Amino acid sequence: MATWSNLNFQNSASPLMEQIIFFHDHTLVILLMITILVSYLMLSLFFNKFINRFLLEEQMIEMIWTILPAITLIFIALPSLRLLYLLDELNNPLMTIKSIGHQWYWSYEYSDFLNIEFDSYMLQSNNQKNNFRLLDVDNRIILPMNNQIRVLITATDVIHSWTVPSLGIKVDANPGRLNQTNFFINRPGLFYGQCSEICGANHSFMPIVIESIPLKNFIKWINNY
């Protein structure tokens, strides 16, 4: 999870988040190259006493500063489109859960397994000993790792947003509408998120916690629920 001194992305826990971080780094390198080139040209113009008489109304330089940005945009657009289609792709999910946003808590339904339902409230500060303040909940989402999971997201009152940064997930929860997303958790652990759409007075107090465990442990949890 992110800490106060961490200005980067959270460590990825899914292949999609890895691709998002790779694309961010790829785009940042291109922006850095453009910034260095433009800075060098500006400094050269400021401190150069010579004048190029062919600089104005010159066809060659017009072609160069039209073609180079077009090529640069292609290098950004192609990986971006690839990532966009990867985010929408859903291949044979193992299970489906439903997340419902309320003012101000989340409720979850495991409709594939005998209709398991529970509410997830933020733990109060006086009940926390070794937990993260304003981030831990009384009922965590238990999910199996190394499996494709589909999530249906909606709300009952106002617009919320179901967000887990380390999984690369941010989906609006709209009243009267079902939104769908999917993810693949590739390691065990606890992954924290929060509502990312301002939804009222207690908007900051409806966290999300996903607990990723091996499949055999998940089956035991389902049987004992």
Cα 132 from Cα 184, distance rounded (Å): 25
pLDDT at 80 over 80: yes
Cα 208 from Cα 222, distance rounded (Å): 20
Half-sphere exposure of 37 (CA within 13 A, CB side): 9
Q: What is the mean pLDDT of the chain?
A: 86
What is the CA angle 179-91-184, rounded to 5?
Answer: 75
- Longest alpha-carbon distance in the chain: 83
Asked if 126 and 72 count as a contact pair (C-beta separation under 8 A), the reply is: no
pLDDT value for 54: 67
pLDDT value for 162: 93
pLDDT tens digits along 141-198: 999 998 889 999 999 989 999 999 899 889 999 998 999 988 889 989 899 998 988 9
**Contacts (Cβ under 8 Å, ≥6 apart) of 41:** none
Buried b / exposed e across 56-83, counting CB within 10 Å, b at 16+? eeeeeeeeeeeeeeeeeeeeeeeeeeee
Cα 86 from Cα 61, distance rounded (Å): 38
pLDDT value for 28: 94
Token code pair at residue 104: 């101000």
pLDDT at 126 over 90: no
Token code pair at residue 119: 């509410």
pLDDT value for 61: 78
pLDDT at 128 over 70: no
Strands 189-194, 148-155: pairing kind: unpaired
Least Cα distance to 204 among 153, 139, 134 occurs for 134
pLDDT at 33 over 90: yes
Three-class HEC string of 82-98: HHHHHHHCCCCCCEEEE
